[in-house]
Amino acid sequence: MNPARLTTFLALFLVALVLIITPSLRAADNSDWANLKQLTPGQKAKVSLRDGKSYQGDLQSVSDDALVIHSASGDQTLPRQTVQRVSIKRNGHRGRHALIGAAIGAGAGLGFGVAVDNCSPTVIICTGNKGKAILTPAFALIGAGIGALFPVGAWQEIYRSR
């Protein structure tokens, strides 16, 4: 594979990686109290108040004026005007991240394998088709490992007062 094709391949690979990662990094509009009304009771929540106090526990209910959270110290009714920020605990997606990483890695390994397998008179060692056979699964394993390292079960901010 010539250097121009390899550069193009790497550029496309990086664009694909960015397109896959970007949606999870994008922040939604979280200044609307109505976002909290879509939560289900029992979800793990972390609430920070304007005075610096914070509570963590199970969300009990949300109304137009307040939210109720069950923390270690009992049920806390927190008036809307005192709430600075509310975050919920997201479910982990480690398996999905590993699969996406494996797919990206396998594609990259296949591309590099094709490049290695194309012998020319200036290449000292020709591998036949071993480049694709070895690099595809090897890169898939590396990609799966990298994908599994992405954060799982992180806190997602649902509401922040203006």
The tens digit of pLDDT for each residue in 112-145 reads: 888 877 766 566 666 677 878 888 999 999 999 9
The percent of residues above 70 in pLDDT, for the chain, comes to 76
The tens digit of pLDDT for each residue in 46-75 reads: 999 999 999 999 999 999 999 999 988 899
Mode of pairing for the β-strands spanning 54-62 and 74-79: unpaired
The fold of 34-89 is SH3 type barrels. (2.30.30)
The whole-number pLDDT of residue 137 equals 92
> Would you give the distance in Å from CA 72 to the centre of its chain?
30
Q: Which of 90, 95, 109, 108 is nearest to 149 (CA)?
A: 95
Torsion sign, CA atoms 35, 38, 44, 50 = positive
The tens digit of pLDDT for each residue in 14-30 reads: 666 666 665 555 445 66
Question: Residues 139, 112: contact at Cβ < 8 Å?
Answer: yes
**Alpha-carbon span 71 to 61, nearest angstrom:** 13
Domain with CATH 2.30.30.100 in the chain: 34-89
The whole-number pLDDT of residue 126 equals 66
**Alpha-carbon span 87 to 44, nearest angstrom:** 9
Report the chain's mean pLDDT, rounded to a whole number: 82
